[in-house]
Amino acid sequence: MIILYCICVVVLLFLIYGLIPTIWIRLFSVGIIKRGTAERKEFFLTFDDGPDYVYTPQLLDLLKSYKVPAAFFIVGERAQRDTDLLKRMSKEGHTVGIHHQSHSNSWLLTPGKLKKEISRCASVIQHATGEKACFYRPPWGRFNLFSLPLSREYQVIMWSSITGDWKAEQGKDKLAAKLKKNLHSGCIYLLHDNGENPGADDEAPSVMLQALGEFLEFAKSQGYIGMSLEELKKTNNKRG
């Protein structure tokens, strides 16, 4: 009986601390942005979990060829291996945002550990680029009871299109079709330039790059323009 009681208490605490805040924040868009305006034919590319020292340079080359800005929500400990990629992102007009210092789950972090994950990643970005990070996205889009207060100095960015690009098995054609189908004014795409996390495929970013090239050509033909998160923030502030 005591064991059952303890299990119930643990489950209740988990719901209160992690799951319920995540559902509430994402469902009602509390303190977050998950889409742009529907008034203009624009879209926003965001990439999580990087950098990757094979795929991220290829991605930067592709974005440069189409003159499309993107946002990279980086894992600090990966970026620390060589900060040159972060410098290149900033130099080429991309946004470098906070994921976490490690790819950690906010549901399992105390307030103190969450604050450290955010601040350490922010320090990596500022050291590499000379600029203060302005945007934050927690790994897996998971929040806890203290996520918004602890990240209040940053704009939290979510997404309006998720395609499962971390799995390579769907192939380039299927992924490209999803990206095209989801294209709409103000769409924020979530993609990944690193496949090291549990549940992801190491080679998935290679498939993503092939599909993204086809998508960018399609978006261009439809009159859509890729925009930066800075522009999204400005528009959102004007509307607010």
- Least Cα distance to 159 among 44, 20, 61 occurs for 44
Give, for 202, the enclosing helix (H) or strand (E): none
Helical residues (DSSP H) of the chain, grouped into ranges: 2-14, 20-28, 55-66, 76-79, 84-91, 111-129, 147-150, 171-181, 204-221, 229-239
| SS3 of 138-164 | CHHHCCCCCHHHHCCCCEEECCCEECC
Question: Nearest CA to 54 among 94, 89, 85?
Answer: 85
Q: Which residues are catalytic?
A: 48, 192
Residue 44 φ then ψ, to 5°: -130, 125
